[in-house]
Structure 1
Amino acid sequence: MMLQVFKSKIHRVAVTEANLNYVGSITIDEALMEAANIIEGERVQIVNNNNGERLETYVIKGERNSGVICLNGAAARRVAVGDIVIIISYAYMSREEAIEYKPLTVFPDEKNQIPDTTLYETKLNEKPLETTKENRMLFV
């Protein structure tokens, strides 16, 4: 049996654009995608911290180091520029793989850039650390 489990997330990025007239998707800065192990075309969940909306879409690669987070198409109606969102990816794994897998969380700065120490990995069955702006560090 395969389980769908949390693979990675980009935690608290600011929406930079909302393009209603584009054909769907979310455009994400390529550097953020790589840091979170998310590929172009991958299905992701978007959680809007400002209004509680949740939606699913697929990823389009944005310009590297641009900080772009653009919701396209109908999804553009569910965000506003400046909203803070969490972008979550999932993967199918066997139970055994899921127990050993370490999800990855990327903590971008206020400009949607990746500071030197922003990655956090934990096994799913470990208690996660509370993260604040002051304690964003690399934990492996």
Structure 2
Amino acid sequence: MDIHHIGSTAVPGLKAKPIIDMLPVVKDIARIDAYNEAMGQLGYVPRGEFGLEGRRYFPKGGDNRTHHVHMYQTGHPATKRHLAFRDYLRSHPEAANEYGSLKEKLALRYSNDPASYVNGKEAWVMATEQKALAWYTKA
């Protein structure tokens, strides 16, 4: 139904790993599983929900990932959350700069520990998502 560019590479000027995050929105998420083989032939690894209910996740590139596809069914709250966060950072350069600095600091500290990198930014992301959702609803 729609496809959105999300993640850090979707925010101009934000420091980001060279990984493109895409969010396709589909009518029926259950039907996506039938396309696992076709996605695999394109280099995307089907990971199912991969810890997030209602999502279908397909990374590409192995250890040198290049793309992440996060599919959700229309109306899933994660879609609004992702778009609100992206648009908030696009419209609030001070927040984007703060996020970029945090990511850079964590990347240097946890260059060989991706889980710690993610955990290190979680509190900031969660707090900013709440601000973004409130802002997005008003916008």
Classify the TM-score, shorter chain.
Answer: under 0.3
Choose between structure 1 and 2: higher helix proportion.
2
Q: Normalization by structure 1: what TM-score?
A: 0.28
Choose between structure 1 and 2: higher strand proportion.
1
Name which structure has the greater RCO, CA cutoff 8 Å, separation 6+.
Answer: 1
